[in-house]
Chains A and B, each alone.
Chain A
């Protein structure tokens, strides 16, 4: 009897395990295209509607859309062999990797083929820049753009007697000095501008800093971290910390900022330092504007009563660059690609192209979220609703020098991480020789490039 019970429990276990397996191996029908997107809620609905339109235009084709899957997860699934046919990434930084590792396949043949398209006349130059890797390989089509700008608190500017957004880094430092106030115990009460690796955000602090100084990422096949622009950028950060926050003492300034950063409000919502007025100026993405307008609902329009009275300007740039570069900015965006080993490449391309060129989707998206579309056809002001300040983002993305850094296969944007980590070491005071540090970082990046070539 005991034996039976053991056998029975083993059988139950086996059946149970079996059912889990069965549930997992859902076989795809031949003309089904699986699309995984990182979006949810209303945004996912827009995509679902677009998928329906593509299905209607292509009888027999089924699109299975799954929301809330970010690219890290899609990539894990692609690598595990059960990924989607099409996946969508937020941000452009990993394109070189997706392309180089083979997770996303090359689209050059498809785009020039019978059912191809003219990318140049379809997408903005910036969008074409962030979807094509260094050697001309295209592994993705763009969706919306992600544009970084300079947010400033108008009320704080007014009370400090500053008339407008700083155009160069010297003005920025001077404004920071005017806007920064201290508590009686010496800690920072309000900070002007905080160029600090780890103050909110997405590990892009060093990248932003580099943009302000017009630093480039690659010279030919080599890392360009050794160029003087990077050194200037790092030095500027150091001096700002020393002069403004530390009253001449770098260590003191860095300590105060560490504490200030530790006490920051939550990133998502009304507690964000920029909304509470703890910080007066902030580099950030265009899609933060809806939150600054309406921290609960994230509604960009009409933004007549924003949570904080703010303005948007292009990044301040190094004094020598104002005439050529001011107005330019960092432009990335959503990219979407077709997984390697996709069962039906033809159908996947139809869906990918359909999604990327769906003007209705692009317009609805831009009107709901703000993010300017990468699709030229969806950038007519007449079709769009956005508050006046938001025009700055369109202007930045139209600037001829705007774009993303050259995209190469450094794995998971390891060049971005490397320079960010260096900035962290630099601000922590654990890097004594800046030039040596930058050269070392450059040679690390070169090693990665050589290995992944």
Chain B
């Protein structure tokens, strides 16, 4: 079917055209793909760069970090040991971990029941409660901050971890909201069946609904943990007194003012501070992204 030999038939011409079109389309798609991936790779590089620079600086010695060195040579891995001896880094880590874990426990324990009542039980005042809950989510924390501080100071809880932990045991509007969205999506038939089987309401909540809502509960647990891990303002208000009580955020912020600490170690400490959350993220990415999605789309 060479062109030179004879004119192509109608059918053949159609075939050639469509093949040409397909080829053109594939070519176009390929170019699109190349363009897309180039942009995506470039943007990935931009997003990654600060993390990369933090890491690179974290293994430089003072001289390299404060002069114009771009690449550490040699690598000062020793920084990662030194940071534990130069400042009470381990202590700060354990403090942060303790506060975060307690906050996480408190949030889960105190948010599941209200979310359950707001989504799966019918009662008078439910709508009103939900509207109030939404309203409190919009309330700027500064409005309540001072009297709450006064309450804690009258209780002699400042400085201690209590003001950071105890409120978590009294629910967070955001977590209730998120859980409620998820609970609502579980079919009612499941509850009905369980009730007919003689399940008590508490059993129903804990044995049937909670296991089904695992993704949402994991999400609020994760958010509570990370929120607490990353929190700076709370510790700033309530842990003022004592370096022994400091969390990592507090310690890091004061890093520069501490004697006998060089600034290059700041990046070492920062890198260590980020590491756990990044590791957690890689292991829980799915939970995390589903959680974020749940908060936003329904907003």
A-chain residues with CB within 8 Å of residue B152 when the two chains form the complex: 80
A266:B160 contact, CB within 8 angstroms:
no
* Chain A residue nearest to B262 in the complex (CB): A266
Using A21-B157, A77-B241 as known contacts, say yes or no to A266 and B162 having CB atoms under 8 A apart: no
When chains A and B are docked, how far (Å) is the Cα of A81 from the Cα of B241? 13
A79:B243 contact, CB within 8 angstroms:
no
Using A17-B166, A20-B160, A69-B241 as known contacts, say yes or no to A266 and B263 having CB atoms under 8 A apart: yes
Is A249 engaged at the interface, CB distance under 8 Å to the other chain? no
**Interface set, chain A 252-300, CB cutoff 8 A to B:** 263, 265-269, 271
B162:A17 contact, CB within 8 angstroms:
yes
B153:A9 contact, CB within 8 angstroms:
no
**Chain B 152-164 interface mask (CB, 8 Å, partner A; 1/0):** 1111111111100
B260:A24 contact, CB within 8 angstroms:
no
A-chain residues with CB within 8 Å of residue B262 when the two chains form the complex: 266, 269, 271
User: Which of B89-97, B189-197, B201-209, B267-275 is found at the contact surface with chain A?
Assistant: B201-209
Is A452 engaged at the interface, CB distance under 8 Å to the other chain? no
Is B240 engaged at the interface, CB distance under 8 Å to the other chain? yes
B-chain residues with CB within 8 Å of residue A269 when the two chains form the complex: 259-260, 262
**Chain B 48-69 interface mask (CB, 8 Å, partner A; 1/0):** 0000000000000010001000
Is B169 engaged at the interface, CB distance under 8 Å to the other chain? yes
Is A344 engaged at the interface, CB distance under 8 Å to the other chain? no
A21:B241 contact, CB within 8 angstroms:
no
**Interface set, chain A 174-200, CB cutoff 8 A to B:** none
Using A10-B109, A68-B243, A69-B241 as known contacts, say yes or no to A77 and B159 having CB atoms under 8 A apart: yes
B-chain residues with CB within 8 Å of residue A81 when the two chains form the complex: 153-154, 156
A-chain residues with CB within 8 Å of residue B243 when the two chains form the complex: 68
Shortest distance from the beta carbon of B183 to any chain A beta carbon, whole Å = 18
* Chain A residue nearest to B263 in the complex (CB): A266
Is A2 engaged at the interface, CB distance under 8 Å to the other chain? yes
Is A29 engaged at the interface, CB distance under 8 Å to the other chain? no
A-chain residues with CB within 8 Å of residue B162 when the two chains form the complex: 17, 20-21, 24
Is A436 engaged at the interface, CB distance under 8 Å to the other chain? no
A24:B160 contact, CB within 8 angstroms:
yes
**Interface set, chain B 177-200, CB cutoff 8 A to A:** none
When chains A and B are docked, how far (Å) is the Cα of A25 from the Cα of B241? 15
Shortest distance from the beta carbon of B179 to any chain A beta carbon, whole Å = 17
* Chain A residue nearest to B67 in the complex (CB): A263
Partner of B169, one of A13, A25, A68: A13
B202:A271 contact, CB within 8 angstroms:
no
A76:B62 contact, CB within 8 angstroms:
no
Is A120 engaged at the interface, CB distance under 8 Å to the other chain? no
B-chain residues with CB within 8 Å of residue A76 when the two chains form the complex: 158-159, 240-241
A-chain residues with CB within 8 Å of residue B242 when the two chains form the complex: 68-69, 73
When chains A and B are docked, how far (Å) is the Cα of A223 from the Cα of B154? 37
When chains A and B are docked, how far (Å) is the Cα of A20 from the Cα of B166? 11
Give the A-B pair count, Cβ closer than 8 A.
Answer: 74
Which secondary structure dominates chain A's binding surface? helix
Using A76-B158, A81-B154 as known contacts, say yes or no to A2 and B206 having CB atoms under 8 A apart: yes
A20:B161 contact, CB within 8 angstroms:
yes
Shortest distance from the beta carbon of A75 to any chain B beta carbon, whole Å = 9
A2:B203 contact, CB within 8 angstroms:
yes
B156:A3 contact, CB within 8 angstroms:
no
Is A382 engaged at the interface, CB distance under 8 Å to the other chain? no
* Chain A residue nearest to B258 in the complex (CB): A268
**Chain A 66-86 interface mask (CB, 8 Å, partner B; 1/0):** 001100110011011110000
B-chain residues with CB within 8 Å of residue A82 when the two chains form the complex: 153, 156, 158
* Chain A residue nearest to B149 in the complex (CB): A80
When chains A and B are docked, how far (Å) is the Cα of A20 from the Cα of B66? 44
B260:A3 contact, CB within 8 angstroms:
no
B-chain residues with CB within 8 Å of residue A80 when the two chains form the complex: 152-153, 156, 158
**Chain A 6-29 interface mask (CB, 8 Å, partner B; 1/0):** 100110010001001100110000
B-chain residues with CB within 8 Å of residue A3 when the two chains form the complex: 202
B240:A2 contact, CB within 8 angstroms:
no
**Interface set, chain A 37-73, CB cutoff 8 A to B:** 68-69, 72-73
A-chain residues with CB within 8 Å of residue B155 when the two chains form the complex: 21
A-chain residues with CB within 8 Å of residue B258 when the two chains form the complex: 268
Partner of B66, one of A10, A69, A73, A263: A263
* Chain A residue nearest to B63 in the complex (CB): A271
B-chain residues with CB within 8 Å of residue A77 when the two chains form the complex: 158-159, 240-241
Shortest distance from the beta carbon of A102 to any chain B beta carbon, whole Å = 16
A-chain residues with CB within 8 Å of residue B165 when the two chains form the complex: 17
Shortest distance from the beta carbon of B65 to any chain A beta carbon, whole Å = 10
Partner of B259, one of A17, A72, A268: A268
When chains A and B are docked, how far (Å) is the Cα of A303 from the Cα of B162? 48
Shortest distance from the beta carbon of A19 to any chain B beta carbon, whole Å = 11
B-chain residues with CB within 8 Å of residue A17 when the two chains form the complex: 162, 165-166, 169
Shortest distance from the beta carbon of A370 to any chain B beta carbon, whole Å = 16
When chains A and B are docked, how far (Å) is the Cα of A61 from the Cα of B84? 39
Shortest distance from the beta carbon of A260 to any chain B beta carbon, whole Å = 13
Shortest distance from the beta carbon of A83 to any chain B beta carbon, whole Å = 10
B153:A2 contact, CB within 8 angstroms:
no
B109:A13 contact, CB within 8 angstroms:
yes
A-chain residues with CB within 8 Å of residue B261 when the two chains form the complex: 266, 268
B66:A72 contact, CB within 8 angstroms:
no
A24-B157, A80-B153, A266-B261 given. 7 additional CB < 8 A pairs? A10-B109, A13-B106, A20-B162, A24-B160, A69-B242, A268-B261, A271-B262
10 nearest A-B residue pairs (beta carbon): A80-B153, A80-B158, A268-B259, A76-B240, A73-B241, A82-B156, A2-B206, A73-B240, A24-B160, A25-B156
A-B contact pairs, 5 of them (CB 8 A): A2-B202, A13-B106, A17-B165, A24-B157, A81-B154
